[in-house]
Amino acid sequence: MINWYQLAHDKEKTMIQIRRHLHQYPELSFEESHTHDYIVNQLEQLSCEIRRPVGKNGIVATFKGQGDGPTVALRADFDALPITELNDKPYRSKNEGCMHACGHDGHTAILLGVAEVINEHLAYLNGNVVLIFQYGEEIVPGGAQQMIDDGCLDGVDRVYGNHLWSGYPTGIIYSRPGAMMASPDEFTVKITGKGGHGAKPHETIDPIVILAEFILSAQKIVSRTVDPIKQAVVTFGMIQAGASDSVIPDSAICKGTVRTFDPDIQTHIMNKLDKLLQGLAVANDIEYDLDYERGYVPVHNNPQAYEIVKEAANDLNFRFTEADMMMVGEDFSAYQRV
């Protein structure tokens, strides 16, 4: 009887070493050349078939078993975020303005550890295991769909992914059947009025005041036009206007995000934002531009796949808890639609 828990424990130091290396050399989405080469180098030491590049920069490693069991895919992403790391750990990012702040270094380290375990126990493999190392998860349109279009799921019966989440306690596996992660849309609004001196506001069309009115009105879209049983979020994360305390600028810009699980609600909110701007344009003689970009479709877990994960966790005496629905987004959803 194989002690799978012990096997994973034996790989702990290796996975930590890999994770810390990747953490020191993060690369932004669609620019992951060093990370790509590092992963390939690790895989070339194992008895697997390696295909690269898949899509723009992806890697697929296949372990073929002896039996006629299913082909199961496991996916890890490996891009980083444009964030400056402030901690003083010895393995902190060496790439200024870039950091593994979303755990993708951990995802990749885990999957490389799994690859070693599989490689050492190929005789027990009834079926095939496909390891998908994906680039570009952080930026729409994401790397997942590009890799799928290039055949990363050809012959695959089921695909699983994991996501480290600092908001949960260490040592617990969280998942849920059905909807789990939302569709993360992004939008930019530019309002153009008429600038002038701050002492003579009557001679201007103040875009800052109008933008403020838009932002406040947008907060009512969810609370007053969306069924409270449905889940939706409208958040503004950036406002930019002017450069002086006494000059009213010609334009003002804001950026935000919309998070939904229902495509009808998604479309409803997008239309409501546009209608608010239309009304403000008529009332205030301003011009506006709304750039709305739909994000990934929601992550929707297959109930049978969920039960397999839950059963495996229980068999290995891991702590398993049903997760709440989350308003974050993930392009793992692309694999679930195939």
pLDDT of residue 9: 87
pLDDT of residue 49: 98
What mean pLDDT comes out for the span 94-108? 97
Query: Does residue 309 carry a pLDDT above 80?
Result: yes
Alpha-carbon distance of 266 to 99, in angstroms, equals 31
For residue 108, the surrounding DSSP H or E stretch is helix 104-120
The binding site comprises 102, 104, 138, 163
Q: Which residues are catalytic?
A: 79, 137
Alpha-carbon distance of 275 to 205, in angstroms, equals 20
**What domains lie within the chain, and their CATH numbers?**
4-164 (3.40.630.10), 183-293 (3.30.70.360)
pLDDT of residue 67: 84
Query: Does residue 1 carry a pLDDT above 80?
Result: no
pLDDT of residue 8: 85
Query: Does residue 107 carry a pLDDT above 80?
Result: yes
Query: Does residue 171 carry a pLDDT above 80?
Result: yes
Percent of the chain with pLDDT over 90: 94
Residues 90-93: contacts with CB within 8 Å, 24+ apart? 91/20, 91/21, 91/23, 91/24, 92/23, 92/24, 93/23, 93/24, 93/25, 93/26
Q: Are strands 58-64 and 196-197 parallel, antiparallel or unpaired?
A: unpaired
**Inter-CA distances, 173 with 12, 24, 125, 160, 162, Å:** 17, 27, 24, 13, 9
Alpha-carbon distance of 253 to 233, in angstroms, equals 20
pLDDT of residue 3: 83
Query: Does residue 233 carry a pLDDT above 80?
Result: yes
The binding site for Mn(2+) comprises 102, 104, 138, 163
pLDDT of residue 181: 98
pTM for the whole thing? 0.93
Whether 271 contacts 299, CB under 8 Å: no
pLDDT of residue 5: 79
What mean pLDDT comes out for the span 306-320? 94
CB atoms within 10 A of CB 293: 14
